[in-house]
Structure 1
Amino acid sequence: RYPDDDDVAALAELAAKGVHDPDFMPFQIAWTDVPSPQQERNTLQHFWLQRASWTVDNWHLPMAVVVDGQVVGSQGVAAEQFATTRAAGTGSWLGRSHQGKGIGKEMRAAVLHLVFAGLGADVALSGAFHDNAPSLGVSKALGYEANGEAVAVRRGEAAREIRLRLTRERWERDRRDDISIEGLETCREMFGAV
């Protein structure tokens, strides 16, 4: 769901408790290396910045993932020039205590439903470092295909990033009928989806 300020505060607190093993960095931006309380402040500012800088041509929607009333992580989707490209990228994180339970796959499936069924995208893009097995596993399970590699910087060192793509046609083959979208119609034009 779109996070209100209470959700954002819960996400900041959750992230400060840990998102990954400290010896492994799954993100290009090492935001989880920042000590508390600065990390919590940075998390709040990140969500507020996404709200404030939204334009139809460049948007980033970071959402709160809620399971049984508890905020457990964040699933984001972003695009530039969506009205023209019909492509959106995804990114996510889960609190460590919520990992390994299938939530990552469920939240990605939900955001893909938003991207394809809700916004009418033609392709969804993602990526992960070559050694991020959980993220790559979710992508494979949902039908993503390899889309090349890139060299990215991780904690000051070069690291191989696997790029992935999922087409609308491939998504349609395994489309789920148990995911619903609420409240999108009133704001679809803000995504360039009209």
Structure 2
Amino acid sequence: MLSDIWPVYQLQVATNRLVLRLPNEQELAEVAEVAGAGVHHASERPFLTPWTEGSAQDRARVVVRGHWGQLAGWTAERWGLGLCVFADGQPIGMVSLGARDFRVVREVTTSSWLGLPYQGKGFGTEARIGLLTLAFDFLAAEAARTEVFQDNHSSQGVSRKLGYEPDGISRDARGDEVLVSDRLRLTRQKWIQSDHPRAEVTGYELCRPCFGL
């Protein structure tokens, strides 16, 4: 089976309402269609990814290429784990956990997107808690970092509610435009001290070598 060769397919994170895991081919197509239908309104631009440009099929292909690229480029020294978010068995978005030289540095980065119909329901916070549970409670990360546009108030709110603290800014180019993002950082100590819902992680032990551990 593929999961015997690539054990990350056996990894699963479950929260109260969500399941996070690698999608199979059909599920990848379905979550790509969710992205194609819209991740944010056309009047907004809360991500570097140009989610409102091109056709729905173009946006769906961005998801598929990105997912395949993460898996193809995975090494123990530099990895990116893109998990599909399922609610009631249906894919509603994706979350990602990534690291470079994790065995030594012990820091991860997180990112996420949800389809428009699934926003404003607390799913984003719940999915982030699932990722952070994997990072801190199983991978033994020392810190988790994220970058958020300064006017992306919903994502800013999720991060600060979970205990992230300011860690400077970053500047990126989108075409001829300079975009400023807040860098936010959550330490292991803050995570341990915080009162957050529990998440269940299964299939982790088989995956340890994949993460360089």
Q: Please indicate the TM-score interval, normalised by the length of the shorter structure.
A: over 0.9
Instruction: Write the distance in 1 (CA, Å) between the matches of 2:160 and 2:196.
Output: 16
The aligned residue for residue 180 of structure 2 is 160
Q: CA deviation at 1:189?
A: 1.4
Q: Does 2:58 match 1:38?
A: yes
Alpha-carbon displacement from aligned partner over 1:127-172 (angstroms, at most 9, x marks no partner): 1010000110000010000000122223531121100000000000
Which position in structure 1 is the counterpart of 2:34? 14
Q: 1:149 aligns with which of 139, 150, 169?
A: 169
Contact 1:25 1:155 in 2 (8 A): no
Structure 2 vs 1, CA of residues 130 and 41 (structure 1 numbering), >3 Å: closer, same or farther?
Answer: same
Query: Partner residue of 1:52?
Result: 72
Cα separation, partners in 2 of 1:120 and 1:69, compared to 1, 3 Å: same
1:75 has 2:106 as partner: no
Which residue of the partner structure matches residue 14 of structure 2? none
TM-score, length basis structure 1 = 0.94
- Identical counterparts, % of pairs: 38
Contact 1:15–1:32 at 8 Å: present in 2 too? no
Give the RMSD, CA atoms, in angstroms.
1.4
In structure 2, distance between residues paired with 1:135 and 1:10: 24
When structure 1 is superposed on structure 2, of 143-152 and 153-162 the one drifting more is 153-162
Quote the offset at 1:88 in angstroms: 0.4
TM-score normalised to structure 2 length: 0.86
Q: Which residue of 1 aligns with 2:16?
A: none
Gaps of 5+ in 1: none
Give the number of aligned pairs: 193
Structure 1 residues 147 and 16: CA distance shift in structure 2, 3 A: same
- Provide the residue aligned with 1:87 in structure 2: 107
Provide the residue aligned with 1:134 in structure 2: 154
Contact 1:12 1:40 in 2 (8 A): yes
Q: Which residue does 1:118 correspond to in 2? A: 138
Deviation of 1:187 (Å): 0.9
Instruction: Indicate if the aligned counterparts of 2:33 and 2:56 stay in contact, CA closer than 8 A.
Output: no
1:178 paired residue number: 198
